[in-house]
Amino acid sequence: MPFANLNRNKRMLSIDLKHEKGRSIMMELVKRSDVLVHNFRVGVMDKLGLGYADLKAVNPRLIYATSCGWGDHGPYVARNRGGHDLMQIRS
């Protein structure tokens, strides 16, 4: 049930970003996107060639957002720990 609640009214596509074909598809999507949101650990998107600078070169108006449980630096980031929590907005 949480999956349905969190992903209601969203379009989905599964892409393997570790393969060149997947990264190529991602770049095509970025060209026509307004916002990219990811929740990988710090540095993962850079290692995949999909960091902020890489994608901004493809689409200068792209808004690039990250969601990480521990922020950009600190002891848990240094230990390469992942973390994420559900966020709910109530109106």
Quick check: pTM over 0.85? no
pLDDT digits (tens, 9 = 90+) for 31-69: 999 999 888 877 889 999 999 999 999 999 999 998 766
More confidently predicted of 91 and 57: 57
Long-range contacts from 22-28, C-beta under 8 angstroms, 24+ separation? 23/48, 23/49, 23/50, 26/50, 27/55, 27/58
